[in-house]
Amino acid sequence: MSNAALVELITREVLAELEARRGRNLARTAPASMAKRVPVAVSARHVHLAQREIDILFGPGYQLTKRNDLYQPGEFAANEVVTLVGPKLRPLTNVRVLGPVRDRTQVEISRTDAIYLGIAAPVRRSGDLAGSAPITLVGPKGSVTLPEGAIIANRHIHMSPVDAARWGLKDNDEVTVRTVDAERPTIFGGVQVRVSPKFRLVMHIDTDDANAAGLRCNDEVEIR
């Protein structure tokens, strides 16, 4: 075999090997890109306020001031905080107010918080407040006791219509997710899918769920 023929043979073999490797790499990445991975954000206890309650807690006509923007466009953490009180008269202080102002005041706590306060807050979707737990809010200018409004927010995933279509999901579907590389492998059921053009992809879980699985912000879960 001539030198040139040998070089050509080796070149062909190398190219064939590279091509085969590329194929194997594609085969590896394809399932990963199909995986329905969702980053996690842990929601600490917080309140959404209606202007009626803002007027009582912070003074008539008071306007919330922005501390920082949240991941979902338009949502923000306010500088304002309130204290929550229940029948056990044990205060939960420095509970963050989230803006913008809502039509109804909604208090979102964990089960652990509910036990601490002594209220029977139900697990609910955001906005589903009928028959939820009574709660007292205390601000610098006054306090208000709501006959209902305290909930344990359900597990939910915010996503855009593009993400929803890509994964064959629609608004208000319920899915099950499993943790990826979490300290304590966990499967979460009953996860509400919330679809809106305004939403960016993220799963919201409360501190009880996060702590149970050892999940932190930006960890990932996978929709099964």
Residues that bind Zn ion (CB under 5 A): 204
Nearer to Zn ion, 83 or 176 (CB): 176
Structure tokens at 41: 């954000």
Min dist CB 56 to Zn ion, Å, is 26
Nearer to Zn ion, 48 or 204 (CB): 204
Q: Which residue is nearest to Zn ion (CB)?
A: 204
Nearer to Zn ion, 154 or 179 (CB): 154
Nearer to Zn ion, 124 or 204 (CB): 204
* E strands in 154-216: 156-159, 174-179, 187-195, 202-206
Min dist CB 202 to Zn ion, Å, is 7
Nearer to Zn ion, 45 or 204 (CB): 204
Residues 6+ apart with CB under 8 A from 97: 46, 47, 48, 49, 64, 77, 78, 80, 81, 82
Q: What is the SS3 assignment for 125?
A: coil
Structure tokens at 164: 């929803």
Nearer to Zn ion, 58 or 199 (CB): 199
Number of H helices, E strands in the chain: 5, 14
Min dist CB 75 to Zn ion, Å, is 9
- Helix%, strand%, coil% for the chain, nearest 5: 25, 40, 35
Q: Tell me the longest C-alpha to C-alpha distance in the chain.
A: 96
Min dist CB 32 to Zn ion, Å, is 26
| Cβ contact 110:207 at 8 Å | yes
CA 55 to CA 152: how far, in whole Å? 25
Nearer to Zn ion, 13 or 174 (CB): 174
Min dist CB 63 to Zn ion, Å, is 24
| Cβ contact 179:219 at 8 Å | yes
| Cβ contact 158:200 at 8 Å | yes
Rg of the chain over all Cα atoms, to the nearest angstrom: 25
Min dist CB 179 to Zn ion, Å, is 18
Min dist CB 203 to Zn ion, Å, is 8
